[in-house]
Amino acid sequence: MTRRARLVLWLLPVLSALGCHAPHAKAPPRDSATTCGRFANEVDALFSETAKLELASHLRLAAGKSAEGHIARVIATFEGIARSSALAQKTACEDAFVRHTTPATVYEKKAACARVVLASERALLQAIQNPSRETVWNLDDALDTIGVDATDCQKESAYAGFTPSQSDDPADDETAERAAGEARAYAALADQPRAKQAIAQGMAAAQRSEVPGLLVELLLPDPRAFDGPKGNATLVEQATLAKRIAERAAWPDGVRRSVRQLGLAAESRRDRAEALSWYEQEVALCEKLRDPSDRRTVIAYADVASANSALGKDAEALASQLKSVAAAERNAGSLAASTGGAYDSLGFILHHQGKDTEALARLRQAQDAWQRALGDDHPLVAHAFVGMAKVSQALGQHAEALESYRKALVIREEALGPHHLDTAQSHSDLAMEYFGQRQYEDARGHFEEALATQASILGKDHPTTANTQNNLGAACYELHEYDQATAALEAALSVFERAPDDQLERIAIITRNLAAISEDQQRDAAAVAWYDRSLTTWEKLPGKPSPRAENTRDALSGLCTRRGYAPACQMLKRHPER
């Protein structure tokens, strides 16, 4: 048996014991002190120094030695969550069975919450038995959500919908609780197949148990578990049902969670107005149910700000995001990772409104908070550098933009590896900046790096890959490498021609580029044919003609007047000015 396999077998039985189904309050065990006292001891056994070293070694295989600080924080967070959940079970158990000061239903609620949290932890440990670099870094996000719910176990607020089971078989409760935790953990790690499998396994058991909290938990997975129109429709259906269940159970926090899910589903299909309506309901519920600085209130304000910004409601967006920042600072301080996220969102809203100097200051705050909280090598720090680079570009500070893009690339290559999509995006970002500065050789090299990764992961027929093909073709064109440019552009065009009509603008741009190459090579007949295709495509787009459409017609006109090429002049008559 290999060392890696032994790690999983060694850890999981302890977690299973921690997450065991607690006895129903209506039939308390005789030795209640032993029952209640075992939780904390089992956490100590789980997180012995040997276990921590073993887990660190396991994560290091994927993330590399540069992630030492991050790995240490992940292990400490695992330990903290387990202790918090164990304490919730132990305290509720003692109150119900020893001091008889807490109703049995309260014990059931807290115990059920703790079991779901611990099932999430167990699933995360299972998920990293063969970790990728991305999995290791994504643990932050997954543990953050689980940690908040572990705290809520003790407060009892978030899981008020967990009521004593109506099932005759306690195994139904265990199955549903385990599945709810696993679904959340796998979705947070963007592992769609295992998230969906956990949901399917848990739903039948939860329906037999008739526990509202478990049903809602299973009906509201992380949206990353579903994608595409079919996935979106599933999210809406499940969230609507979860909302009705939570309303019938008089569980306000379950309603809040359902409402937010409906907002996320609307946003993913780009219905910003509907998303805003749901997010505003979420804010109202948070303000009624929770402390103004609660983490979920911070997120709710940010959701409203994002939706308002997308709708062009600049004043409302700024006001909401400032509320999110103020709440985050009260909740966790100015140097917490969550506060860094609030600064980052505020920076992008200010950038969207043209307030770039203020935006850059806020994005630097985000970078500082993330570096102090997460370490210099965390992917979120790379995200901050990308944001600062984009704002620097808008301010005309191109040297600063290049430097920030380079720093982001270095972090992503080290943290995520050279063949990760975020690393490919950093190559594209650098290439675009080099292209703008007419450093075409450098631009081509980075476009080629991005293209290789995107083609390998997404496939040659993915729109993102096709975008990079077009950009690579433009760089080759500027270097007078016409054959390579034509091949790249035609590869991109073949992808978008098979795509839905929402890719018409890209088709118009690519055919315009092919026309320019043909004209440069004095292949006038080919150039006119490409100009014709580009203009015909522009004319299919609704609304006023874009400047690029007018530019395309001007180019065709130049071929007519400058060279006196008659077919170009005839083609102009087919595409009159609009």
Q: Which uninterrupted H or E stretch holds 414?
A: helix 398-415
Residue carrying the six token digits 């970002």: 429
Instruction: Determine the Cα–Cα distance for residues 50 and 45; give it in Å rounded to an integer.
Output: 10
Q: Name the residue type at position 129.
A: Q
Let me know if 168 is exposed, middle or buried by CB neighbors in 10 A (0-12, 13-18, 19+).
exposed
The answer to whether residue 550 sits within a structural domain is: yes
How high is the mean pLDDT of the chain? 79
pLDDT at 338 over 80: yes
Q: Which of 40-49, 54-63, 89-98, 161-170 has the lowest mean pLDDT?
A: 161-170
Are the C-beta atoms of 517 and 486 separated by less than 8 Å?
yes
Closest CA to 366 of 339, 390, 393: 339
Candidate ranges 58-72, 195-209, 545-559; pick with highest mean pLDDT: 545-559
More confident call, 174 vs 481 = 481
The pLDDT, as a whole number, for residue 227 is 67
The answer to whether residue 565 sits within a structural domain is: yes
**SS3 state at 461:** coil
DSSP code of 541? S
pLDDT at 63 over 70: no
Q: Which of 168-177, 190-199, 250-259 has the lowest mean pLDDT?
A: 168-177
What is the per-residue pLDDT across 112-125, written as a single tens digit (0 to 9) for each?
A: 777 777 777 777 76
Q: Which of 5-9, 189-193, 271-275 has the lowest mean pLDDT?
A: 5-9
DSSP code of 291? -
The pLDDT, as a whole number, for residue 1 is 30
Let me know if 193 is exposed, middle or buried by CB neighbors in 10 A (0-12, 13-18, 19+).
exposed
The answer to whether residue 112 sits within a structural domain is: yes
The pLDDT, as a whole number, for residue 513 is 92
Q: Could you tell me the CA-to-CA distances from 384 to 84, 234, 261, 428 in Å, in that order? A: 32, 33, 27, 16
Clarify whether residues 37 and 149 are in a common domain. yes
What is the per-residue pLDDT across 383-427, written as a single tens digit (0 to 9) for each?
A: 999 999 999 999 999 999 999 999 999 999 988 888 888 999 999
The answer to whether residue 282 sits within a structural domain is: no
The answer to whether residue 357 sits within a structural domain is: yes
Residue 364, number of CB atoms within 10 A of its CB: 16
Q: What CATH number is given to the structural domain containing 389?
A: 1.25.40
Domain count, the chain: 3
Clarify whether residues 141 and 26 are in a common domain. yes
Write out the residue range of the structural domain in which residue 533 sits: 500-578
What is the per-residue pLDDT across 346-385, written as a single tens digit (0 to 9) for each?
A: 999 999 999 999 999 999 999 999 998 888 888 889 999 9
Dihedral-angle region of residue 414 (phi above 0 means left; psi in -120 to 50 means alpha; beta otherwise) = alpha
pLDDT at 16 over 60: no
Helices (H), 353-462: 356-374, 379-394, 398-415, 421-436, 440-457
Of 164, 187, 211, the domain-final residue = 164
CB neighbours of 57 closer than 8 A, spacing ≥ 6? Answer: none
What is the per-residue pLDDT across 488-508, written as a single tens digit (0 to 9) for each?
A: 999 999 998 887 667 888 898
Percent of the chain's residues with pLDDT above 90: 35
At residue 468 the predicted structure's pLDDT band, cuts being 50, 70 and 90, is very high
Clarify whether residues 391 and 535 are in a common domain. no
What is the per-residue pLDDT across 270-289, written as a single tens digit (0 to 9) for each?
A: 899 999 999 999 999 988 87
The answer to whether residue 348 sits within a structural domain is: yes
The answer to whether residue 415 sits within a structural domain is: no
Of 129, 144, 164, the domain-final residue = 164
Of 164, 183, 218, the domain-final residue = 164
